[in-house]
Structure 1
Amino acid sequence: MKISESDLIINPDGTIYHLNLLPEDIADTIITVGDPDRVSEVSKYFDRIELKKGKREFITHTGYLGQKRITVLSTGIGTDNIDIVFNELDALVNIDFQTREIKKNLTSLNIIRIGTSGAVQADVPMGTILASAYGLGMDALMNYYVHELSGDERLLLDDIKSHFAHLKHINPYLTAASDKLLNTIGKDMAKGITITAPGFYAPQGRIVRAKNSVPDFIGLINSFRSNQNRITNLEMETAGIYALAKVLGHQALSVNAILASRVNFEFSKEPNKVVDEAIKTVLSRIAEV
């Protein structure tokens, strides 16, 4: 089936609409970061950079670490941007732009998020590099996609829905990390369930001036237990990354630099140092596999 011009928008120069990229511009291993300024903080460790492109908040560098070709791409904040980035990355490798047809042989990308996050457990200190075993979405993105769960995901999500049952306006979704990436890139890292919120303030339990509709949200989420599983941290992209990666057949892992302790009301004095440590750890492990 030919995909229409309004469903898949290709720019006059042949690039995908938002990311401004050609299919040959990206590697099969992709690092995503939220902040456009963080792209160069990753690519400065490349041995050489072959491409730099940007449009809006989407900045892309592709280069080499040794013989390993890697792309680093900024997504901006939130799962609304993840929807754009993941669909367009998938289109770049799995849709023929000339015929507008899905390719017969599909490509599965390895996508690793390096992002910042706040811990909701007292024993997850600032400075921790944490790999998300699951992404738990409190946003509405996956209401718009057919999203099938594994048996383990379904059992865990049932326990989560029971725990949050009194929050009638929230319909959470859950997706596991890629086993392959969790056991290679994420080896030896702290692990847990990462909540993806649809905002930074009240949706993450912060109180500034506006009144929150969910009292003690942090206490509610850090009290959840299901066998050995617990919620460890909060951020704004992981669940969307995991869910769309699974829907589209890609491998995904979220690596979180813990900059805040939400239970101790503290924020890191050296946030850039923590993020840099996460970047170097991920790059060294990509080079190994």
Structure 2
Amino acid sequence: MINDSELIINADGSIYHLNLKPEDIADTIIFVGDPDRVAEVSKYFDNIEVKKGKREFITHTGFLGNKRLTVISTGIGTDNIDIVINELDALVNIDFETKSLKEEIKSLDIIRIGTSGSIQGNIAIGTILASEFAIGFDTLMQYYKKPYTETELAIQNAVIHNFEDLTFRPYIGHASEKLLAKFAYDLPKGITMTAPGFYGPQGRALRTNNTYPQLIKQANQFIVGNRQITNLEMETAGIYAMCNMLGHHAISINAILASRVQESFCENPQEIIDNAIKLVLNRL
């Protein structure tokens, strides 16, 4: 049995942060960061049966044709990903009456539709890119024991060698092969770098002196086998690592809005994001 302080359930039977009950979510879940983007996804649903929200976590569940879907806003950063994935896993795999694990463990399909910046000159603004692997430059996985594949260990060792001045140990996560085949069969793929902030942690300096001023240059030059770091954002590595650990399927679909190499930002971000949304929904 799980202690009350470990799994907090609200008075109405919903889980603490997400404010959701087990019946409120589908087995296929779309993640977006921005709460306002939830409606930009669900407007394509044929009907919506659940609309709930608490803090930055907004949830819509409904149907697209015969497919039941949930879209949830995670907010920004892997600290929120820790909350969202743990609570989603609890909703499907823990009996809230007995606070014990269910006999049959369920695996969710989680598709992130997010914005990102390219750090390779050959990846143009407007590209929709799938993350095959992700490197976490945050500390989330310092608190968990995640099994690593041989490929993940090779990438991790290459990161440690390439980013010699790091004072922390980055972690690695991988996309679901099933979801790569379904959603990204014709998309460019790469290694995504996940940062715990938008400014210093992504190599930006407005009025600051950064600890790692060569971060983008180092990321641009990183290579392991035939793989490069292609883009930079703030959630994918946390999603992949947590899902790898808990047995869920995950894929991150990135709408490239900026080029860190060319130091430019797109003029039509909403159009690019909408293209990514429609691509995912059309392939469900």
> What letter is aligned with 2:84?
V
Deviation at 1:95, TM superposition (A): 0.1
- The letter for the 2-side match of 1:81 is N
Aligned to 1:145: 144
Provide, for residues 199-235 of structure 1, a one-character-per-residue CA deviation record: whole Å limited to 9, x for no partner. Answer: 0001001111111111221111010011111000000
Task: Classify the secondary structure of the residue corresponding to 1:263.
Answer: coil
Residue identity matched to 1:92? L
CA distance in 1, matches of 2:213, 2:242: 31
The residue type paired with residue 218 of structure 2 is L
Distance in 1 separating the partners of 2:14 and 2:185: 36
**Does residue 5 in structure 1 map to residue 4 in structure 2?**
yes
Counterpart CA distance in 1 for 2:98 and 2:181 is 38
Count residues with an aligned counterpart.
284
Equivalences for residues 148-167 of structure 1 within 5 A: 148-167=147-166
Moved more, 215-224 or 120-129: 215-224
| Corresponding residue of 1:118 | 117
Aligned pairs for 1:1-289 within 5 A:
2-167=1-166, 169-286=167-284
- TM-aligned CA deviation for residue 155 of structure 1: 1.5
Distance (Å, rounded) in 1 between the aligned partners of 2:103 and 2:42: 33
Query: How many angstroms does 1:159 deviate by?
Result: 1.3
The CA distance in 2 between the partners of 1:216 and 1:161, in whole Å, is 15
- The amino acid across from 2:13 in the alignment is G
Q: CA deviation at 1:71?
A: 0.1
Aligned mates of 2:96, 2:171 — CA distance in 1: 32
- The 3-state SS of whatever aligns with 1:31 is strand
SS at match of 1:126: coil
CA distance in 2, matches of 1:232, 1:111: 21
Distance 1:212 1:154 in 2: 28
User: RMSD between aligned alpha carbons?
Assistant: 0.6
Letter in 2 for 1:21: L
Distance (whole Å) between structure 2 residues aligned to residue 171 and residue 154 of structure 1: 12
The TM-score, its normalising length taken from structure 2, stands at 0.99
1:160 Cα shift?
1.5
SS in 1 for 2:168: coil
Q: TM-score normalised to the size of structure 1?
A: 0.97
CA distance in 2, matches of 1:165, 1:185: 35
- Which amino acid in structure 2 is aligned with residue 258 of structure 1? I
Amino acid at match of 2:133: Y
Alpha-carbon offset, residue 186 of structure 1: 1.4
Structure 2 counterpart of 1:280, one-letter code? K
Unaligned 5+ residue runs, structure 2?
none
Q: Which amino acid aligns with 1:102?
A: L
Greater CA deviation, 103-112 or 185-194? 185-194
Q: Secondary structure at the match of 1:182?
A: helix
SS of match in other structure, 2:262:
coil
Q: Which residue identity lines up with residue 17 of structure 1 in the other structure?
A: Y
Runs of 4+ in structure 1 off by over 4 angstroms are none
Gaps of 5+ in 1: none
**For 2:107 and 2:213, how far apart are their aligned partners in 1?**
42
Task: Give the % identical residues.
Answer: 60
SS of equivalent residue, structure 2 residue 271: helix
